[in-house]
Amino acid sequence: MRLYRSHVLVGMDTFTLLAGARKVKEHLIRQIEKRGLSDEIKVLETGSLGITNRGVVLLIYPEGCYYVNVKPEDVPEIVEEHLLKGRTVQRLLFKGELERKAVALPESPLDVRRQSRVVLQNCGVIDPENIDEYIGRGGYEALERALFQMKPQEVIEQVKRSGLVGRGGAGFPTGLKWEISAKVASEEKYIICNADEGEPGTFKDRVIMEGDPHRVIEGMLLAGYAVGANKGFIYIRGEYALSIQRMEKAIKQAYEYNLLGSNILETNFSFDLEMRKGAGAYVCGEETALIESLEGKRGEPRNKPPYPGTCGLWGKPTVVNNVETLANIPSIIVKGADWFRSLGTKETPGTKLYTILGHVVNQGVIEVETGITLRKIIFDYGGGMKNGREFKAALVGGAAGCFLGKDMLDVKMDYTTLKSYKAVLGSGAVLVMDTSTCIVDMLRCILDFFKRESCGKCVPCRMGTDRLYRLIVDISSGKGTKDHPKLMLELAQMMNKASFCPLGQSVLLPLSSAFKYFEDEVMEHILDKRCPAGVCKMGEK
């Protein structure tokens, strides 16, 4: 095996491909060959390097040097200066690197060495389209251990003891969900991976699928073995072209290696896996609406009970887990429940992926232990507020999440703690806003989203979202009255109790939190007919 002096990892994800990552890679290979460095430097493709909205991103390993906004014309300088002469190209360095040199910090804000990577341990490290690299990093070891050393119930008990809860937003105990389906006697059972990531501001599942698709497959195999299922479906967001391409390739490779199909690893366990594309309906993130869509019907939620665990896809016991949830399973089986519980908080063990967006210096995806504070996410990993502006609020959990103000910066970010504050962690999206943002305008955008995405099945949601949107438009255009906030809250509370599914029920969260933390700003729109941020156009509709 040839040993190389350095490896140049080219992040290949949706953002960087649009920015021209393949051309940059081609130029790197040509320039390295031209300089006679082919025996010393290896150029490799990998998944997301965790940095977004910074063009093409490169990581020079083992130096740990990140370059961003790289264009083909920058490549000769990188090869000449860094790879040949050992001098960094300062103008292309990730800003975190510049800050590190200025203040002698040990790592840059989004450096993986500052994170506690479990789910993302292979992302940005392996070629996601090469099954051998996944296996070389311990991939499918958990499946082998489960098939040859553990009974199905032992797998379930391990997951239950780990304390893993669903990472899609609901936070339901994963082991308990599996146990419910395992106890039902049925010749047909199904495992569904919910990869229909439609929550605004959330793209963590896409990063997992683009960077480590086999990890998701292995998690589904373990779930299938544990509950007695022989068939699985990945219901994936139709817009995720690269995720779809890599998941399909990974499925094909797994079949070729006898890791999918009949008598896996020469055992009695068989499991088949298919990919199904979603059609862009936000409501299909709800598990029963997803199941309806899989069955070829209109994506609308079902009556519950019965729940999918006992009567799901085609009336059979069905486990529906989120991408991030399933990606945790292989490590739990290999390292054990006690190891997983040593991470995070007692109530919510393990790690959590957060997508950091908005008015921060560094946007991207991080994986850290649960219980981290919002302040650390924004100022330690996000690099602080962009352009030195003052922090105003963070929308945590996407459109169905909560606005958190300055008073909530030091609250622990885990499902249990936030619930005690009548807030939610949701999918882990963190949209950071500075003082140039208008909360009323943000609410207008959110309520417009809910109005458009309501499936219309139930009257409270269908009529309520439209009415709420009209009321917030009144406030944002200077036509609101002092009774508007009270009326909106009463309507949202009614929707929370009467709506058929979480879409209509969740409208209360962003609305109530915005009115709680930013009441003065809302009332200024109503009483003074003035938008403090200068965003809303008073007198217009």
CATH of the domain at 333: 3.40.50.11540
Asked whether residue 364 is assigned to any structural domain, the reply reads yes
Tokens of 438: 């208008």
Mark whether 87 and 174 lie in a shared domain.
no
Q: Which long-range contacts (CB under 8 A, 24 or more apart) does 138-142 make?
A: 138/334, 139/214, 139/215, 139/218, 139/330, 140/214, 140/218, 140/259, 141/330, 141/334, 142/218, 142/222, 142/329, 142/330, 142/331, 142/332, 142/333, 142/334
Mark whether 360 and 429 lie in a shared domain.
yes
DSSP state of 183: T
Query: How many whole angstroms separate alpha carbon 418 and alpha carbon 432?
Result: 17
Residue 114: what pLDDT? 77
Mark whether 235 and 318 lie in a shared domain.
yes
Mark whether 67 and 199 lie in a shared domain.
no
Mark whether 206 and 309 lie in a shared domain.
yes
Q: What is the mean pLDDT of residues 74-99?
A: 83
Q: What is the mean pLDDT of residues 278-299?
A: 93
Half-sphere exposure of 42 (CA within 13 A, CB side): 13
Q: Which of 341, 375, 405 is the last residue of a domain?
A: 341
Mean pLDDT of the chain: 91
Is the distance from CB of 251 to CB of 217 less than 8 angstroms?
A: yes
Mark whether 139 and 56 lie in a shared domain.
no
Percent of the chain exceeding pLDDT 90 equals 77
Q: Which of 434, 456, 471 is the last residue of a domain?
A: 434
Q: Which of 108, 143, 168 is the last residue of a domain?
A: 108
Residue 106: what pLDDT? 34
Q: What is the mean pLDDT of residues 60-64?
A: 82
- Residue pLDDT, tens place only, 438-482: 999 999 999 999 999 999 999 999 999 999 999 999 999 999 999
Rounded to 10 degrees, the C-alpha dihedral 160/347/514/381 comes to -100
Q: What's this model's pTM, rounded to 2 decimal places?
A: 0.89
Angle between helical axes of 484-498 and 459-476 (0-180°, round to 10) = 160
Asked whether residue 538 is assigned to any structural domain, the reply reads no
CA quadruple 436, 437, 440, 441: dihedral sign: positive
Asked whether residue 178 is assigned to any structural domain, the reply reads yes
For 358-405, give the DSSP string.
Answer: ESBS--EEEEEETT-BHHIIIIIIS-SBGGGPPEEEEEESSTTSEEE-
- Residue pLDDT, tens place only, 185-204: 999 999 999 999 988 888 89
Ramachandran angles phi, psi of 113, nearest 5°: -70, -15
DSSP state of 257: T
Mark whether 202 and 314 lie in a shared domain.
yes
- Residue pLDDT, tens place only, 421-448: 878 888 889 999 999 999 999 999 999 9
Asked whether residue 126 is assigned to any structural domain, the reply reads no
Angle between helical axes of 508-517 and 519-527 (0-180°, round to 10) = 80
Asked whether residue 283 is assigned to any structural domain, the reply reads yes
Count up the domains in the chain and report the number.
4
Residue 101: what pLDDT? 35
- Residue pLDDT, tens place only, 316-368: 999 999 999 999 999 999 999 999 999 999 989 999 999 999 999 888 899 99
Residue 103: what pLDDT? 31
Q: Hey, how many other C-beta atoms are within 10 angstroms of the C-beta on 241?
A: 11
Residue 102: what pLDDT? 32
Q: What is the mean pLDDT of residues 270-274?
A: 98
What residue numbers bound the domain in which 225 lies?
A: 131-341
pLDDT band at 100 (very low <50, low <70, confident <90, very high): very low
pLDDT at 96 over 60: no
